[in-house]
Structure 1
């Protein structure tokens, strides 16, 4: 379902209108754009609805279109706060959850974030500057996580962890996070979370088996050492939660598809020539056309450009086609009830940036299970092997 733009008549004071036009000109935007942004900002200040029947509370940072929210809600969680800066993702989020995520996380006061049990974030991977850290070390000055992560969006995760101290968190990122910037990014992430007194457990997991897509991502689960100490282990162990019948590509295909998704002769010729050129050089670059009873390559945010990583064979007498936005949603494990209310281009970007919902649902279940186990042990004052210890707490 796609909503059409609506027109409203708005009467405002003449002096205010002139000021509004002047402001819009200074910002390089239209008056309509300014008014729309103002309405979105106002709606973003609306608090998440509070329910009392949840097992736990969580916040959804870098929320995208809400894949992580769906996952943790399915495990009995209540979302009490969400943040997403992209206005098109905000629209999709609002259209599905009736809540407008707050915007730029760098401008959000951590103390104003509601208390919560679990922090959830699919944070972007950015370079971490270590020049300042090295300089301080050479001067013999101590550095904390803020010094190391300042200027990156990971810092915003850290400052909320420091301010609100949730029991646990789940972070998600691209597979090569550990090798990013020659390993410096991963080192800073580990050191920062360790200095914040969180015990972390990272693992790269493939979404294949939950959906018909090869999609490896790193997941980082963390638990508050001030509450629970560190005499325990955590295993993601989600394989036994995969469906008995392995999902394959044909499972997610729509029976009838608009001709607009079929590649033009020009684009199809280009992709074939491009693939042949790289094959001759010994490279593996080229389009992907998986078997209908197989799995696809990783869906990316650039899928809207040509769809080359996942093409659907339509027989020898017809050019292949790209996936529809609904098929992309299914490929990521979104239910058909999930509303797609943006253009195809925006939808492709959004689903390409999203998570495999059933995989994250399985991980969420494991984290909730571990938190409940650790809470019981903390109440008894027991460590992992049942002996008494001095309870550690940050409160």
Structure 2
């Protein structure tokens, strides 16, 4: 995506407006190739306890030395690339409030939401497109994207004025999420056998990036033909998802199967992004995931992304490079890396796989 990309290359259509219009057949642009459709690829429904759930209560006093917690997180990152956390320190009332205030935003008339429409330059604001290639396949979902950190990237002109509580609630949610991610980074570092602050230092210390995307998936008349969000791995560091536990829709790839994630009430789903896979020299795995559409219920989620400073070169930690496990990836900045997904949109793990040293 070049610096001259100030607008989308084609008109942006709100998926919510299509759904509210009462269509019975989805437009062709939303129909996925047969090999990508949920009805073709299928999914396994397994007991929710099979997705690792980690209790962070023992870390609440600031300790990152609890061996059982460290081992649980490390095993989850090696085997699954994601886990759920309970007793995480984020206020339950705040979690309820952030979902409620953004639900209210998405109920606003379309013309009001379009006043905050985003562009490919920063992605801040209300939108539907994730990639900027003209004619690309589209997903059945809208979103609102905004920056939390660094403060210099934050554009409050793109933050909603309504509901009146939205800005205050979102700011506080961002603060508590940054604290949670900082604790998780300590546990991840120890799980690799490294110093407690290692990953945070590699991410830029206090100069990390953080952003938030609220995802809204309207009802879909033909959910077997499309996806709310196509398969992808997250390009950044950590993703902390506040999922709609009333409407399961998140699926993760486990081998050749797609597994439906059933969120534990009051929990967050945390998944590893590509930058953690790079830094850990593929000891920890970023997880490929997708979101299903639903014919009967709308769905919403709040995804918080904790990312490295954009201009830092990231490569596998030399402590994790051995003769038996040689370096898997070349050095690259996060700015360079995320250009791919900004151009192509969600595309599995092809970007990460293309960067492996052979």
Please, what TM-score do these two structures have when normalized by structure 1? 0.23
Q: Higher RCO, 1 or 2 (CA under 8 Å, sep at least 6)? A: 2
- Computing the radius of gyration from Cα coordinates, the structure with the larger value is 1
Q: From the two aligned structures, give the one with the greater helix fraction.
A: 1
Please, what TM-score do these two structures have when normalized by structure 2? 0.25
